[in-house]
Amino acid sequence: MDFPYIKMNFWDALFAIPIIIVLTQFIKVYFKIPKWIVPTFALLFGLGISVFISHKHSLLAGLFMGWFYGYAAVGTYSALKTNLLAFRNKRSNRH
């Protein structure tokens, strides 16, 4: 079995992850879906962007990288939210 050649472009990740974050937040706000299902939508968006735009040449490469795009967006959002909440709590405890 030969492994697929996966070429990751820096711009794919730079644009895909913020787009996925924006799309998931849009769906969460406007369609009132439960918060626990948002990572599933992020994964689906990541797979869609990767399979249909970034890695059209290989389905296996698209699935592989789409998984990373989706969960990189989930991790980025989680880290930003955690840091923001910690910063707010630290500032409110001072006053």
How many distinct structural domains can be found in the chain? 1
Best CA proximity match to 9, nearest among 47, 39, 53, 71? 53
Residue 25 lies in a domain: yes
Residue 4 lies in a domain: no
Residue 3 lies in a domain: no
The domain containing residue 40 runs over which residues? 10-94
Residue 26 pLDDT greater than 80, yes or no: yes
Residue 14 lies in a domain: yes
Quickly state the pLDDT bin for 4 (edges 50, 70, 90): low
Residue 95 pLDDT greater than 70, yes or no: no
Question: For residues 6 and 83, which has the higher predicted lDDT (pLDDT)?
Answer: 83
Residue 59 lies in a domain: yes
CA pseudo-torsion sign 42, 68, 49, 9? positive
Residue 18 lies in a domain: yes
Question: For residues 37 and 5, which has the higher predicted lDDT (pLDDT)?
Answer: 37
Residue 57 lies in a domain: yes
Residue 5 lies in a domain: no
